[in-house]
Amino acid sequence: MTTSRQRVIGMLGGMSWESSAEYYRLANELVRERLGGLHSARVVLASVDFAEVEQLQLESRWDDAARLLAGAAQGLQAAGAELLVLCTNTMHKVADEVQAAVSIPLVHIADVTARAVLRAELSTVGLLGTAFTMEQDFYRDRMSRHGLTVLVPDVTDRAEVHRVIYDELCVGIVREESRQRYREVIERLIGAGAEGIILGCTEIELLVAACDSPVPTFPTTRLHIEAAVDQSFEDWQSVGTN
């Protein structure tokens, strides 16, 4: 009889917990779809206080943020995690420092997303996310390494996209008027040449769906956890006898 063993997924979340809940739900749904019955994902979760992280972001104290998340990642490894998922796009700014703190692999959200865009045979995409993700180069440069051109909204649209994330989505508020604003931002990105739209903040998927865009969307939360679940099953087959 052939059985599959799941690696334990270490989720480093809380940024915000709204999106971390989606990660947890999706991981369990994906494992159930794969194995059936009452199967669920093998997960350990560390959830940080997002208010503390946001303050570090606002003060550009990225080194301190890296130390905070690196410590949490080490705790996940000590708790039995065999691969690591940083449940946020923005804090992938410190992904290299987090990876350096542990010996288990980190599944990088930008690499996963880039591969999905390439599978769709697109080369130019629009990026929606926090101001940090849209305006700093850590995310766009990572995508560029895969040969992709990344467009971002203009300064006014960036401010509105960021505001909706922090003032509404991160606290569980989903407004139809905000969904319409995002649709308008997407239309402008398409007008600038975007062939697809990266939903580059894990909370955006609470607001925007594929039906809100006339071009393909790339939901980073779902893509990220799908890749992690796939990786959790890789190379873990054992053969027994009846």
202 CA to centre of own chain: 5
- For 121, phi and psi rounded to 5 degrees? 60, 40
- φ, ψ dihedrals at 236, nearest 5°: -125, 50
Closest to 82 measured CA to CA, from 6, 24, 8, 4: 8
Does 201 participate in catalysis according to the annotation? yes
Q: Examine residue 16 and say whether the peptide bond preceding it is cis (omega within 30 degrees of 0).
A: yes
Give 2-5's long-range contacts (Cβ < 8 A, gap of 24+): 2/237, 2/238, 2/239, 3/237, 3/238, 3/240, 4/35, 4/233, 4/236, 4/237, 5/233, 5/236, 5/237, 5/238
The neighbouring-strand residues paired with 150 are: 125
Query: Which residue in the list 88, 113, 133, 202 is annotated as catalytic?
Result: 88
CB count, 10 Å around CB of 80? 11
How far, in Å, CA of 240 to CA of 106, rounded? 31
Active-site position among 90, 113, 133, 201:
201
Catalytic residues: 88, 201
